[in-house]
Structure 1
Amino acid sequence: MDELFEHEVQIEKVRNENKVLLKGFEQWLQESGFGKKTIRNHLFNAEFYINDFLLYYEPVKAREGIEEVSNFFDDWFIRKAMWSNKASVLSNITSLKKFYQYLVEIGEIQGIDSEMLKRRIKEEKADWVEAVEAYNDFD
C-alpha cells in the first residue's frame, strides 16, 4: 500500500508543477497575441499531454516528456483520445511545439531539445497522420 501511496504523491507533485507551467504558458500565449479560442486549444492539448499521457504509467515531468512525443502520437493518442483524427494530430503537434518553446524561454529545457523535437516532428508527422487515419478507417 505504501508503494501505491508514494506513486500517487509523486503524481500529485508533478501535477502541481504542471499547473504552474500551464499558467505561465497561458500568459506567454496571451503576450504572444493569440486569441482566447487558440489559447484554450493550446492549453487543452498541452495539459492532455503533460497531465494525462505523461502521468499515465509513471510520473514524467514535462521537461522530460519532450522525449516521449513519438510514443504519444504513434500509439497512445490514437487509442486514448476519442477525438483523434488528422486535424487533432496536427493541432497537438502545433501546441506541443509552442509549449516546449515556452519551456526553452523560461529555462526549463535547452534550445537543442526543442530543435530535436522539431526535427522529430518533421520526420515522423506523416507517419503519425497515416497511423491515426488507418486507426479510424473502419473499412
Structure 2
Amino acid sequence: MDKVDNSLDKIKNENKILLDRFEKYLTNKKLSRVSIDKHIGNADFFINDFLLYYEPITAKDGSSQVGCFLGDWFIRKAMWASVTSIKENITSLKKFYQFMFEIGEIPKDDLFELEEEIKECKDDWFENLRKYDDPDVDLEDIW
C-alpha cells in the first residue's frame, strides 16, 4: 500500500467518525429521520467522493471547495443534479460546516466565507446547470 492509499484510508476513517457525529448533531436538533438521512448522504458524497476525487482533501479543509463542487463537479458527475438537488446540497453543506465550526474543526472565518460564496454564487451554479443540460450550448462556453 502506498502513501496515497494510506492517506485516503485515514481520511475515510476520519470522515466516518465525522459523519457519525454529524448524525448525532442533527438528531439532537430534532430533525426528521428523512432530513437527517438526506443531509448525511449529501455530506458523505461531498467529503468521500468529491474531496477525495482528485487529491485527498480533508473535510475540515474542504469548505473552500463547495463552489467547485456545486458549480461544476456535481453538475457533471451526479446524474441527479437539478436545481432542487443543488439547493438540498447547499442546505446540507451549510449544516455540516456549521457543525464543523461548533466542534472546533473549522474557524468562524471559514464558515463565513462558505456562506458568502453560497450567497454570491448559487444563481451562477443554477445557470451552469441549465446550460449543461441544454444540448445547444457548447460545454466550453460554461467552464
Same fold (TM over 0.5): yes
SS in 1 for 2:30: coil
Q: Look up the match of 1:100.
A: 97
Q: Look up the match of 1:66.
A: 63
**Using the alignment, how far apart are the partners of 1:50 and 1:82 within structure 2?**
18
Return 6-15 or 45-54, whichever deviates more.
6-15
Q: Look up the match of 1:24.
A: 21
Q: Look up the match of 2:75.
A: 78
Given the alignment, which residue of 84, 100, 109 partners 1:112? 109
Q: Deviations over 1:69-111 (max 9, x none)?
A: 1111121101110100100000000000000000001000011
TM-score under structure 1 length normalisation: 0.94
Return 89-98 or 69-78, whichever deviates more.
69-78
Q: How many residues align?
A: 136
**Using the alignment, how far apart are the partners of 1:132 and 1:36 within structure 2?**
29
TM-score under structure 2 length normalisation: 0.92
Q: Give the AA of the match of 2:70.
A: F
Unmatched runs of 5 consecutive residues or more in structure 1:
none
Structure 1 residue 126 corresponds to structure 2 residue 112? no
Q: Deviations over 1:18-54 (max 9, x none)?
A: 0000000000000001000000000000000000000
Return 5-14 or 100-109, whichever deviates more.
5-14
CA contact (8 A) 1:104 1:114 kept: yes
Q: Percent identity?
A: 49
Q: Give the AA of the match of 1:39.
A: I
CA contact (8 A) 1:85 1:136 kept: no
